[in-house]
Structure 1
């Protein structure tokens, strides 16, 4: 078996995503939470959400299925992620949400941002947490 040489690390991918997508502060994100055209999306794994809760009103869509649920042509599409929605993504630190936001932008979605600092920053900024 040969050893695979990686040309990009996950750190490289996150840095590239952060150059290509909009990062907003937790405070700015929470201001958007009440907008009727905005969907907060928690892209953490189910175990993480079960352990810590999520921001009240956020839709839980694990990172691994996000593109499928965002694609209107997919049988697992969710309307909350559809065209005309403003998406605010967050994870545990801001890395997965940056990658997720980039993937959605690459799919053609224009109104996608992610929260720098993720869930802890949202909690610290006063975000209401629900189970």
Structure 2
């Protein structure tokens, strides 16, 4: 295999050097702030398996640039709120670091949860789980 020009670890390190990182305990304290929007970029299966931060908005990693861009046909109105502080998170802080740096490059102001969801419950963060839908033959 050809050696890559840059490793994923280097991409994460470069992103972290230029974005705002929020500690888990600090985000827990910010949860009640109506001006903070927590955005979960994990896969839907991760949210189902591990739970999620109550009140967080789910935006799959593969769509985030399109959902944030007002010129995109996939734009989501939640990202039009200029007076809000957007804090992105994934499981360990790697995907959200790269995502936040990319959004910053696009001109969208955001921060990310430094250690991701991995330390959330251990540090006292509340967790919610999706409602389980009853099984039916028609689904």
Instruction: State the TM-score, normalizing by the size of structure 2.
Output: 0.85
Shift of 1:83: 4.2
Shift of 1:91: 0.7
Verify the 8 A CA contact 1:94 1:115 in the aligned structure 2. yes
Alpha-carbon RMSD across the aligned residues, in angstroms, is: 1.3
Unaligned runs of 5+ in 1: none
Counterparts of residues 1-131 of structure 1 (less than 5 Å)? 4-84=2-82, 85-110=84-109, 112-131=110-129
Shift of 1:126: 1.7
Q: In the alignment, what sits opposite 2:136?
A: none
Distance 1:71 1:37 in 2: 20
Q: Residue deviations 1:4-38, cap 9 Å, x none? A: 44110101100000001011101111222222222
Distance 1:123 1:62 in 2: 21
Unaligned runs of 5+ in 2: 130-139
More strand by percentage: 1
Distance 1:5 1:119 in 2: 31
More helix by percentage: 1
Distance 1:44 1:62 in 2: 6
Instruction: Look at both structures and tell me which one has the larger radius of gyration over its CA atoms.
Output: 2
Instruction: State the TM-score, normalizing by the size of structure 1.
Output: 0.90
Q: Residue deviations 1:30-59, cap 9 Å, x none? A: 222222222101111111111111100001
